[in-house]
């Protein structure tokens, strides 16, 4: 297995960006294959922080970076993110960044609709990032999307825009909003086309060629398995498949290309946005986890909800996503707790579950069954070898492995790139 597929195994923000950046040293290509700029991936390299939403994390090292067809692409955000990273000294050009010509575009009308729906949803709101992700995927599946390749055929765009606008005008009317200004939208697209088109390539071809030449491909997932539109806590999910299988459909490589599936797992649990969260702690302990872990969203700045590690959910994620091994991140955040709890099952009344039932009402009702483990007082912050870990921390890791039925391949002990312990090299597997 020369390739590695990195995915989040919880509700996102597990530390995928840090691990992808660390692994990118060994990779020839880094590929984003789903989601869009709803993601927020943070990298810290020698004290300097980089925040990426749409660009693959490999770009910071200058590794060939690819945005696959499964990504929904906001061209204006792209322009701004490229400018921001360039200002930080990151080199980005059409040689080291390729974007699939078939990516559907996120347009201002998608952002509008995302916000209008959230505002109208009251208590039932999903708590989206309001970046137009859901509406853009709807138009893709509805066969109405404007894609990057359409930017090279502006003369042919009128009929497509008419169809798209007719659909959105009906939706907007329901919210009391004026119709789409079609000519203004066309003019905006014409203006941004020159920024995007130099990067637009048949990436499926580049990736297949790279694979034939034995190049190492690193797939970078966004969000997490519990936000997957099929396997997550529906309807409180994102609008794409976030599981490892999407690396294939979202890039144009066959399913065997996924290689080692590395699930990124935080040593506790967080969630941003609405939806069930069985092991959530709405008390001082939750607050302590949030403060120690600096749990604020990269994209929206929202406070992340925090709770104990939920082994039931991660075991389920590992199963549905075919996770080969996990990277356990933010272990240092648990330093100094007298006791640490792990959720090992659920209860509703007299009934126990070893998986999360699918109905949102049951998901909201389940009570976690905990086992308690003694904590450790020593610091693991910045540890770079197994030998530096306190015995109790190792016990915790071993218990997590047992419960999720998956081995730990990497441990992360701070935001810094090099504060990472390699247990089993995913590229060598």
Active site members: 13, 41, 140
C-alpha 54/C-alpha 341 separation (Å) is: 35
Structural tokens at position 294: 């600096």
DSSP alpha helix (H) spans, 121-261: 133-141, 157-174, 182-196, 203-212, 246-249
- Among the listed ranges 101-109, 124-132, 153-161, 398-406, the one in contact with ligand IMO (CB under 6 A) is 124-132
Residue 219 CB, shortest distance to ligand GDP, in Å, is 14
Task: State yes or no: residue 273 binds Mg ion (CB under 5 A).
Answer: no
Of the residues 4, 10, 13, 404, which one makes contact with Mg ion according to CB under 5 A: 13
Considering only 15, 273, 325, 368, the residue that binds ligand IMO (CB under 6 A) is: 273
CB of 180 to Mg ion, least distance (A): 31
Cis amide leading into 227 (omega within 30): no
CB nearer ligand GDP, residue 403 or residue 421: 421
Give the C-alpha distances (Å, rounded to integers) separating 132 from 44, 74, 164, 242, 303: 28, 9, 15, 17, 21
Q: How many CB atoms lie within 10 A of CB 391?
A: 9
Distance CA(335)–CA(167), nearest Å, equals 53
Q: 254 near 245, Cβ under 8 Å?
A: no
CA–CA dist 243, 320 (Å, integer): 8
In contact, 200 and 153? CB cutoff 8 Å: no
**Within 376-405, which residues bind ligand IMO (CB under 6 A)?**
none
The answer to whether 207 is a known ligand-binding residue is no
The single-letter DSSP state of residue 350 is: T
Name the nearest CA neighbour of 290 among 314, 271, 311.
271
Pick out residues in 28-57 that bind Mg ion (CB under 5 A): 40
Note whether 290 binds ligand IMO by CB under 6 A: no
> Is 14 annotated as contributing to ligand binding?
yes
The whole-angstrom separation of Cα 389 and Cα 289 is: 20
**223 touches, from ligand IMO, Mg ion, ligand GDP, none (C-beta below 5 to 8 Å by class):** ligand IMO
Q: How far is the CB of 83 from ligand IMO (least distance, A)?
A: 21
Q: How far apart are CA 139 and CA 37, in angstroms?
A: 17
Site map (CB under 5 A) of Mg ion, residues 278-317, x = contact: --------------------x-------------------
For ligand IMO (CB under 6 A), the number of binding residues is: 23
The interface with ligand IMO within residues 238-267 (CB under 6 A) comprises 238-239
Q: Minimum distance from CB of 102 to ligand GDP (Å)?
A: 25
Q: Binding residues for Mg ion, how many (CB under 5 A)?
A: 3
Rounded CA gap, 6 and 203, in Å?
A: 19
Taking the C-alpha atoms of 41, 16, 413 and 311 in order, what is their torsion angle to the nearest 10 degrees?
A: 130
Number of Cβ atoms within 10 Å of the Cβ of 156: 9
Binding ligand IMO (rule: CB under 6 A), the pick from 3, 129, 269, 321 is: 129
Minimum distance from residue 57 beta carbon to ligand IMO (Å):
10
| Distance (Å, whole) CA 211 – CA 171 | 44
- At residue 200, φ and ψ (nearest 5 deg) are -75, 125
Q: Is 248 annotated as a binding residue?
A: no
Instruction: Give the separation between CA 424 and CA 406, rounded to whole angstroms.
Output: 12
**Is 96 among the annotated ligand-binding positions?**
no
DSSP tag of 317: H
Per-residue mark of binding to ligand IMO, 16-55 (x: CB under 6 A): ----------------------xxxx--------------
**Chain positions contacting ligand GDP, by CB under 6 A:** 8, 12-18, 40-42, 44, 298, 329-330, 332-333, 412-415
Residue 6 lies near ligand IMO (rule: CB under 6 A): no
Would you say 17 is a known binding-site residue?
yes
Residue recorded with tokens 């906001």: 74
Interface residues toward ligand IMO, by CB under 6 A: 8, 11-13, 38-41, 126-129, 131, 133-134, 222-224, 227, 238-239, 272-273
Interface residues toward Mg ion, by CB under 5 A: 13, 40, 298
Query: Residues forming the annotated binding site?
Result: 12-18, 38-42, 129, 143, 223, 238, 298-304, 330-332, 412-414
Query: Residues forming the annotated binding site for IMP?
Result: 13-16, 38-41, 129, 143, 223, 238, 302
Query: Residues forming the annotated binding site for GTP?
Result: 12-18, 40-42, 304, 330-332, 412-414
């Amino acid at each position: 297995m020369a390739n590695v597929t990195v995915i989040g195994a919880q509700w996102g923000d597990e530390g995928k960006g840090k691990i992808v950046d660390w692994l990118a040293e060994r990779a020839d290509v880094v590929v984003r294959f789903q989601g869009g700029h709803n993601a927020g991936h943070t990298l810290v390299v020698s004290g300097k922080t980089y925040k990426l939403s749409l660009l693959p994390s490999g770009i910071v090292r200058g590794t060939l970076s690819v945005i696959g067809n499964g990504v929904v692409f906001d061209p204006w955000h792209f322009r701004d993110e490229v400018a921001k990273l360039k200002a930080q000294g990151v080199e980005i050009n059409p040689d080291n960044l390729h974007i699939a010509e078939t990516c559907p575009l996120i347009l201002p009308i998608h952002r509008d609709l995302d916000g209008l729906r959230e505002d109208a949803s009251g208590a039932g709101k999903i708590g989206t990032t309001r970046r137009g992700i859901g509406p853009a995927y709807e138009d893709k599946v509805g066969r109405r999307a404007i894609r990057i390749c359409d930017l090279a055929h502006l003369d042919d765009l009128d009929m497509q825009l008419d169809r798209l606008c007719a659909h959105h005008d009906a939706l907007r009317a329901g919210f009391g909003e004026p119709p789409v200004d079609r000519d203004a939208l066309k003019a905006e697209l014409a203006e941004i086309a020159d920024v995007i088109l130099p990067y637009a390539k048949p990436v499926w071809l580049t990736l297949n060629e790279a694979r034939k030449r034995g190049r190492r491909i690193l797939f970078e997932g966004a969000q997490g398995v519990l936000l997957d539109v099929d396997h997550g806590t529906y309807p409180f999910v994102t609008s794409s498949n976030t599981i490892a299988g999407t690396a294939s459909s979202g890039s144009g490589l066959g399913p065997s290309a996924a290689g080692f599936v590395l699930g990124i797992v935080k040593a506790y649990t967080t969630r941003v946005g609405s939806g069930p969260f069985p092991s959530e702690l709405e008390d001082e302990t939750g607050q302590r986890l949030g403060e120690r872990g600096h749990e604020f969203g990269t994209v929206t700045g929202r406070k992340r909800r925090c709770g104990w590690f939920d082994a039931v959910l991660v075991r389920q994620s590992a199963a549905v996503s075919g996770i080969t091994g996990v990277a356990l991140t933010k272990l240092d955040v648990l330093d100094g707790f007298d006791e640490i709890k792990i959720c090992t099952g659920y209860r509703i009344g007299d009934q126990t579950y070893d998986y999360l039932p699918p109905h949102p009402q049951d998901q909201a009702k389940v009570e976690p069954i905990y086992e308690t483990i003694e904590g450790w007082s020593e610091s693991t912050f910045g540890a770079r070898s197994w030998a530096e870990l306190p015995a109790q921390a190792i016990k915790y890791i071993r218990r997590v492995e047992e419960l999720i039925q998956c081995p730990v391949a990497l441990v992360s002990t701070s935001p810094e790139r090099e504060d990472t312990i390699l247990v089993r090299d995913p590229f060598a597997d």
